[in-house]
Amino acid sequence: MQDLTRISSAETATAQDGAAILDVRDLRTYFYTDEGVVRAVDGISYSVPPGETLGIVGESGSGKTVAALSLMRLIDDPARIVGGEINFDGRDVVKLSDEELRKIRGGGIAMVFQDPMTSLNPVLNIARQLVETMVVHGRLTEEQALERAIKLLGRMGITAPERAVDSYPHQFSGGMRQRVMLAMGFSNEPQLLIADEPTTALDVTIQAQILELIVELNRDFKTAIVLISHNLGVIASVCSRVVVMYAGEIVEEGPTEKILADPRHPYTWALINAVPRIDRHVPGQRRLVTIDGTPPDPLNMPAGCRFAARCPFRIEKCEQHPELLEIAPGRKSRCWVTQAGGDLPPPETSRGAPAEAKARPDVHHGSETVIKRGERMLELRNVVKHFPLPKTTLFGKQKWVHAINGVSLDIAQGETVGLVGESGCGKSTLARVIARIHEPTAGSVLFHGQDIAHASQAQVRPLRRRMQMVFQDPYASLNPRMTVGDILGEPLRFHEVTHNEKETRERIAELLDVVGLPQKAAARYPHEFSGGQRQRISIARALSVRPDFIIADEPISALDVNIQAQIINLMIDLQERFGLTYLFIAHDLAVVRHISDRVVVLYLGSVMEIAPADTLFAEPLHPYTRYLISAVPIPDATVEAARQRLPLQGEPPSTVDPPSGCPFRTRCPIAQGICAEVMPPVAEVRPNHFVACHFPGQF
Amino acid sequence: MSVAAETGVTAVDKPKSLWRRNFRRYGLPGFGAAIIVVWILIAAFAPLLTPYAPDLVDVTKRLQPPSQMHWLGTDMLGRDVLTRLFYGARISLFTGIVVVVVAAVFGTLVGGIAAYSRGRIEEVTMRITDLVLCFPPIILALAIAAALGIGAVNTIIAMLVVWWPKFARLARSMIIVQRSQEYVEAAMVVGYSPARILIRHIIPNSVGPLIVLVTLDVGNAIITFAGLSFLGLGVVPPTPEWGSMVAEGRELIEQWWVAAFPGLAILSIVLGFNFMGDGVRDWLDPKSRRW
Amino acid sequence: MPRYIVSRLGLAVVMAILATLVIFLIANTVPGDPALSQLGDLAASNPEFLKAFRAKWALDEPLWTRYFIFLKELAHGDLGISIASQRPVLDDIKNYAPATIELATVGFLLSAIIGVPLGVIAAVRRDSWIDHVARFLSLIGVSSPTFWLAFIVLAIFYGELQIAPGPGRLDPIAFAPTNVTGLFLIDSILAGDWDTFRDALAHLILPSTVLAAATLGLITRTTRASVLECMHQDYVRVARAKGLTEGKIVMRHILPNALIPVVTLGGLAYANLLAGAVMTETIFSWPGLGRYTFRSAAALDFPAIMGITLVVAVTYLIINLLVDISYALLDPRVIR
């Protein structure tokens, strides 16, 4: 296997064992902007021994991507490396001439980027893009390179690589393209591969495949890997050592399992505790640990510890800037508290909801509605939605996207139903059918007993007050030309929730208060707010007309983990306070497990499994659900090491031409003849546990 | 994700001197606006600015070179070129602005209705715009103007016919883009009527590119109208108009002033609208930063 | 690919037929009396002519019948009789077309050969002096009326400096080469007549430069914007990370993507050339379609104008068809 993909049997690494192949010393990359100097990377140092896997973790804006790009001097114009050394293979990359730098780029160091959809040149075929990578470094001729390209693609798990090399990028899915990118990265047997969020744009099952591949390649090629991610689970499943970045600095460094088990910097501590875990769920512990505030303004860094303003363990000394010092063998931290020997205790298990909030659900609904928990609120019966594809030719046949193929589902008053599935499974379409943004092709949607499936907008309008929606993209879901006050006030006036300007103003003030925004927000425009704050505005808008049902379409997937936790906590608070019912859509299974009472698994527009959350995650009966759960990386190196991951092969089939019978049969290990002929009905296999499988639980 | 987005930095420009950046941002658009304002003032107060009448024929003074009496010389019939230039600003500005504004309003309405009604109406209106756009604009305008007969009003009508489809196209495509934005979906979930969503939400978010196109296009319309006049279709002869003034002087290479100055006037006013349009675009969409 | 071409071709044919309908409607419904406008005052005053004309085009029949008669005549190449020249419009167009084709081709090549590299260099060397020069040139190009630019260029280089030949395709005393293609450059080469070739080329320089100016501005602008956009794409960073040289990155990764919108511009550029040709030919006394258009417009020679419009529209459709096809060749995403 290895021989196939080796250029020569001789070891290409020139560094002696033990000596680091990459040694970064006090690297500083600044952006010279109109507003001032942004110190994106502000003096970071770390080293990577040959063959090691190092993780760099941090939230957006922490400087981790700029730091990675700086390693090959790939940063663009307003940014400049202003100081430090990047010693690679004994030479300082910062000082290399352009000619020498080119030899390292793609030769000694290779890089895989976040978005595989835009990383490949759309007008060149795969062969050309792979071959030029090898030919430019002068080690192979065109013919040899092509031969090797085919072998590499095969090694990366691409079927029929001989045909694949002649394809163009648009013919490949995201996962396939990332495999091509990896083939490109490994084509010159680099000593170091930098992977910048390589799986962030991919679905969880595809992510598992790619991470698995990276681990194998590290083992087989002895290539050192620097993996950049915001996801601790991803880091835990690949990396042996981890560096945590915050506000342009390294705040903690050490072996992965130790850092995850016992963080020694409050930021790492907050990062770990803000994420719900898929492998454990403590009943009753509904709120996640969050830290207040936002990262410091990069134009105006505080003089002391940069995390101090948000730190729950803050002491007086934090007004001075701490150094990154060794606190234990192999572990470093930039924190006065832990450097002095202090520890960071695990968070209190449960912080109760504000008592006064629980006591008065009537504030929200007035006397109009009496909430009866358990009453059936929404019933979907065989909902189908097909979209016509635009015709490509004048005389072509009309093609359809089969977005939803007969979904039936009940949602009861006061519960939270989680809807999970990979991209393209139809979960967002289903949300929009329920909210009647789209009219379903067939089936019925009963909301409070009234069928709204084919009702006119005028007929639906009165029900709009009871059903609202929160959207995914906090940047696109608020009208940029309206003030927050108008965004919240317009529905109030429209539905005559308030009857004069004074009432409207009071209600807006109340709404802002409920979602935790200051009163002065009403006069501002959406672009003046951060992503998390915008999502709060979005939630306030949904609440404005006092609905009892809220559809949340991936409300947290565009946010950093700490903000995610804040929004989840807010949604839980609101539910307890106002007796809301949620349909919560997400692709993050851990979050769904955390927030949901019941979970629905969707695949290719059909329901695979419905069960109470804990049951579903403890005993999944559908093969797809098992794969899905198994694919989620867990931010715990010990657990991750002990886990046997189920490898789900391949990619979901096209929704334009879905498979006959059970949609999952093409990837199912236990599929038999009947699966191709008959779509299994969604049957109640155990009490409250519904599965659409001919052989439930047999996998 | 781009490096810039990662650090929350929006400007991707090279660090430049403040002076040059401000000149780019305010100087050129301001200069453009100034040119336009000056021409509007000239058009408004033309009779006060010159002692001559635009159609005062004096064959004894024909084809005089620029002098103190006639700053820009006289034409074949002894008329003062500067005077005719001043009066000519009226018709050029008027036609340019009227054609573009009327076409923009009409085209946007049609495009909006098409995008919103979908189905048959959309199909038909878009085929009509396709059809108009399959003729080179000046040729179709020429044919229609010829069919209607000479005269400024007829030429304006002809230009309107060929001018509105691009606005209809632009408006439709922008509305389609906006319609799938989540804030519009949010408005649908609140239950607003389609008309209200269109007027309150979609149009305010779509006007930016339309305003840019309108500003840049006024210059275009002025050139086209002058071109049609040059061909003899725009205005009835004694009326002072820049395009027809160039036509009158086109064979007088020795007496270059007759044709050169009216053309220069067109150039200046079109440059003015181009500078201003670029400024508006940079201001509305700082990322695009074309020229 | 063949499927795509057939589909595009079908669309073009449909549009061409609809274009004839538009022309027909303009000619027959817009003027008060179609007979009067198509015959001209002189001929219309002769009742015999008038009667014959009304009979031929069935002017008393409903519009649809007349449209089919119009189509039938069109199929036979009958575009009517020019009022001014009293010859069939199609013959006139055939006569004048080669001069315009020659001028337009040279003008287009000039603007593409200068405009594309200029746009690329301006984008790559952004904010350098060459960027500013390119910006200035393209602004002047798109902002100056062609008829005026033609006049100024003629006045300076012919009138004042006397370094360029005057109007026309050849010196007044020279003889045209034996007519093969109607393109003097090619015909003179075929005849081996180098003096005529040089003469024709010299006469082409000024008008083709003027004609190129407007299109040049458009092409430079679009190329620059497009290259700038492509330069910031992820795949360019990937190419840099592979260790490719900057030259290779521009030639292999940026240009093939950046030129796609420039090719789409083809139709627009052609329309510009055409409008430009009318103006330029008029000033330079260039015996082509442009000057024919000018004369027809000035004389209100209605049949000629309609004929030109139709021919131009069909050419325009063909150009756009070619653009669509080359677009598909450049961008593999167009056809799946």
* Gap from C228 CA to chain A (nearest CA, Å): 13
Distance CA B49, CA B87 (A): 10
List of chain A residues whose C-beta atoms are within 8 Å of the C-beta of residue B185: 432, 435, 437, 469, 471, 477
- Whether A446 is in a domain gets the answer yes
In this prediction, residue B24 carries a pLDDT of: 66
Residue numbers in C near B147 (CB within 8 A): 26-27, 30-31, 37, 302
Map residue A251 onto helix, strand or coil. Answer: strand
Mean pLDDT of A426-430: 91
If one compares C122 and A14, the residue with the highest pLDDT of the two is C122
HEC secondary structure over A437-458: CCCCCEEEEEECCEECCCCCHH
Residue A87 in any domain: the answer is no
Query: Which residue in B16, B138, B225 has the most chain C C-beta atoms within 10 A of its own C-beta, making it the best mutation to test that interface?
Result: B138
Q: To the nearest whole percent, how much of chain A has pLDDT over 70? A: 92
Q: Tell me the helix, strand and coil percentages in chain A, rounded to 5.
A: 35, 20, 45
Domain extent, residue A409, equals 376-413+422-466+598-691
Mean pLDDT of A54-79: 89
What is the structure's pLDDT at A351? 43
The predicted structure's pLDDT at residue B25: 67
Task: Render A326-356 in DSSP notation, one character per residue.
Answer: EEETTEEE--HHHHTT---PPPPS-PPPPHH
Q: How close A500 comes to chain B (CA, Å)? A: 19
**C42: confidence class by pLDDT, cuts 50, 70, 90:** low
Q: Looking at the complex, does the CB of residue B173 fall below 8 Å from at least one CB of chain A?
A: no
State pLDDT tens for residues B59-113. 777 777 777 777 777 777 778 878 888 888 888 889 999 999 999 989 988 888 8
**Chain C residues lying within 8 Å of A113, measured CB to CB:** 234, 237-238
B15 and A CB contact within 8 Å:
yes
C3 and C63 housed in the same domain:
yes
Q: Are A563 and A382 in contact (CB under 8 A)?
A: no
C-alpha span between B20 and C205 (Å, rounded): 37
| DSSP-based three-state secondary structure for A378 | strand
Same domain, C75 and C138: no
- Quick one: closest CA in A to B18, which residue? A34
Q: Are C20 and C133 part of one and the same domain?
A: no
- For chain C, how many structural domains are there in total? 2
Question: How does residue A367 score in pLDDT terms, banded at 50, 70 and 90?
Answer: very low
Contact of C143 with chain B, judged by CB distance below 8 Å, is answered with yes
Which ipTM value was assigned to this complex? Answer: 0.82
CA dist A330 and A241 (Å) reads 10
Of residues A165, B192, A502, B245, the one with CA closest to residue C148: B245
Q: What is the pLDDT of residues A464-502, one digit of tens each?
A: 989 999 998 888 899 988 899 999 999 999 998 888 899
Q: Is A373 exposed, middle or buried (0-12, 13-18, 19+ CB in 10 A)?
A: exposed
- In this prediction, residue A488 carries a pLDDT of 93
What are the chain C neighbours of B88 within 8 Å (beta carbons)? none
B185 touches chain A (CB under 8 A): yes
Region A58-85: mean pLDDT is: 88
A35, pLDDT greater than 80: no
Same domain, C163 and C212: yes
CATH of the domain at A455: 3.40.50.300
Contact B165, B144 (CB under 8 A): no
Domain holding C2, by residue range, is 1-88+290-336
User: Are the beta carbons of B291 and C135 separated by less than 8 Å?
Assistant: yes
Output Rg (C-alpha) for chain B, integer angstroms.
23
Query: What sign does the dihedral B1-B6-B11-B14 (CA atoms) show?
Result: negative
pLDDT at A193 exceeding the cut of 90? yes
Q: What's the rounded mean pLDDT across residues A592-614?
A: 92
Same domain, C176 and C317: no
Given a cut of 80, whether residue A18 has pLDDT beyond it is no
Q: Which residue of B has its CA nearest to A468?
A: B189
A333-355: pLDDT as tens digits: 999 988 888 778 877 644 444 43
Q: How far is C183 from chain B (nearest CA, A)?
A: 24
Q: What share of chain B is helix, strand, coil (3-state, %, to 5)?
A: 75, 0, 25
The percent helix, strand, coil of chain C (3-state, each to 5) is 75, 0, 25
Are the Cβ atoms of C155 and B262 closer than 8 angstroms? no
- The 10s digit of each residue's pLDDT in A270-310 is 888 888 888 777 666 778 888 887 788 888 888 889 998 88
Among C18, C127, C305, beta carbon nearest to B142: C305
- Which of A74, A104, A395 lies closest to C237 in CB terms? A74
Rounded to whole angstroms, how far apart are CA atoms A111 and A125? 20
- Structure tokens given for A639: 């657990």
Kindly state whether B13 is in contact with chain A, defined as any CB-CB distance less than 8 angstroms: yes
Residues of A in contact with B21 (CB under 8 A): 34
A108-127 residues touching B, CB cutoff 8 A: 114-115
pLDDT tens per residue, range B117-145: 777 788 888 888 888 888 888 888 888 88
Tell me the pLDDT band of C142, cut-offs 50, 70 and 90: confident
To the nearest whole Å, the CA of C231 is away from the closest chain A CA by: 11
Contacts of A80 in chain B (CB under 8 A): none
Q: What secondary structure, in 3-state letters, does C245-285 show?
A: CHHHHHHHHHHHHHHHHHHHCHHHHHHHHHHHHHHHHHHCC
Are residues C315 and C278 part of one domain?
no
Pairwise CA distance, residues A113 & B6, whole Å:
14
A137 touching C, CB under 8 A? yes
Q: What angle do CA A342, A343, A347 make, to 5 degrees?
A: 140
Tell which A residues from 9 to 38 touch B, by Cβ distance under 8 Å.
31-35, 38
Mean pLDDT of all residues in A527-532: 86
- CATH class of the region B20-288: mainly alpha
C-alpha B4/C-alpha A66 separation (Å) is: 9
Q: With CB atoms and an 8 Å threshold, state whether C139 touches B271.
A: yes
Q: B198-237 pLDDT, tens per residue?
A: 888 888 888 887 888 888 888 889 988 888 888 888 777 7
The nearest CA of chain C is from the CA of A27 a distance in Å of: 19
Mean pLDDT of C294-320: 84
* Long-range CB pairs of A58-61, under 8 A, 24+ apart, other chains included: A58/A230, A58/A244, A58/A245, A58/A246, A59/A230, A59/A246, A59/A271, A59/A295, A59/A560, A59/A561, A59/A562, A60/A230, A60/A560, A60/B1, A60/B6, A61/A247, A61/A295, A61/A298, A61/B6, A61/B7, A61/B8
pLDDT for A364 beyond 50: no
Is residue A1 predicted with pLDDT exceeding 50?
Answer: no
Chain C touching partners, 3 or more CB pairs below 8 A? A, B
Nearest to A395 among C7, C238, C244 (CB): C7
CB contact under 8 A, B190 and A468: yes
Residue A74 touches partner C, C-beta closer than 8 Å: yes
Q: Is A382 left (phi over 0), alpha (psi -120 to 50) or beta?
A: left
A650: helix, strand or coil? coil
Proportion of chain A above pLDDT 90, given as a percent: 41
Q: Are residues C310 and C278 in the same domain?
A: no
Contacts of C248 in chain A (CB under 8 A): 132, 136
B290 pLDDT band, cuts 50/70/90, is very low
* Overall number of domains in chain A: 1
Q: Higher confidence at residue A44 or residue C7?
A: A44
For residue A249, the model assigns a pLDDT of 92
Give the nearest chain A residue to C235 (CA atoms): A119
What is the DSSP code (8-state) at residue A319?
Answer: G
Q: Please give the residue that has the higher pLDDT: either B9 or B201.
A: B201
A103 to chain C: closest CA residue: C243
Q: Is A44 helix (H, G, I), strand (E, B) or coil?
A: strand
pLDDT for the residue B133 = 83
**C238, A119: Cβ pair inside 8 Å?**
yes
Cβ of residue C157 closer than 8 Å to a chain B Cβ: no
Q: Would an 8 Å CB–CB cutoff place A70 in contact with chain C?
A: no
Most confident of B77-86, C61-70, C86-95: C86-95
Sign of the torsion angle spanned by Cα atoms A96, A99, A103, A109 = positive
Per the prediction, chain A carries an average pLDDT of 86
Q: In this structure, are residues A596 and A617 in contact, taking their beta carbons and an 8 Å threshold? A: no
Interface of B with C in 117-176 (CB under 8 A): 130-131, 134-140, 142-144, 146-150
pLDDT for position A7: 56
- Measured distance CA(B197)–CA(B191) in Å, rounded: 9
C36, C50: one domain: yes
**pLDDT of res. A224:** 93
Q: Taking 60 as the threshold, does the pLDDT of residue B291 lie above it? A: no
- Report pLDDT for C249: 92
Task: Sheet containing A79-88: give its strands across.
Answer: A37-48, A22-32, A79-88, A91-92
More confidently predicted of B32 and B15: B32
**A17 to chain C, minimum CA–CA distance in Å?**
26
Spatial strand order in the sheet of A192-196? A109-112, A192-196, A224-229, A53-57, A241-246, A249-255, A331-333, A325-328
Q: Which residues of A touch B204 (CB under 8 A)?
A: 479, 481
Q: C-alpha dihedral over A580, A581, A586, A591, to 10 degrees?
A: 60
Tell me what pLDDT residue A394 has.
Answer: 55
Tell me the count of A-B CB pairs closer than 8 A.
111
| Residue contact B250–C221, C-beta within 8 A | no
* Confidence grade of residue A150 (pLDDT, cut at 50, 70, 90): very high
Beta carbons of B191 and A494 less than 8 Å apart: yes
8 Å CB contact of C15 and B131: yes
- The answer to whether B195 faces chain A, any CB pair under 8 Å, is no
Please list every residue in chain C whose beta carbon sits closer than 8 Å to the beta carbon of residue B246.
145, 147-148, 151
Q: With 90 as the cut, is the pLDDT of residue A384 above it?
A: yes
Query: Could you tell me if residue A363 is inside a domain?
Result: no
pTM of the shown model: 0.82
DSSP A113-156: -S-HHHHS-TTS-HHHHHHHHHHTTTSS-HHHHHHHHHHHHHHT
Q: Assess whether pLDDT exceeds 80 at residue A100.
A: yes
- Residues of A within 8 A of C242 (CB-CB) are 105-106, 132-133, 136, 184
pLDDT (tens digit per residue) in A130-142: 999 999 988 889 9
CA distance to A194, A266, A535, A541, per residue, from A60 (Å): 18, 18, 17, 26
Tell me, what's the pLDDT at A368?
38
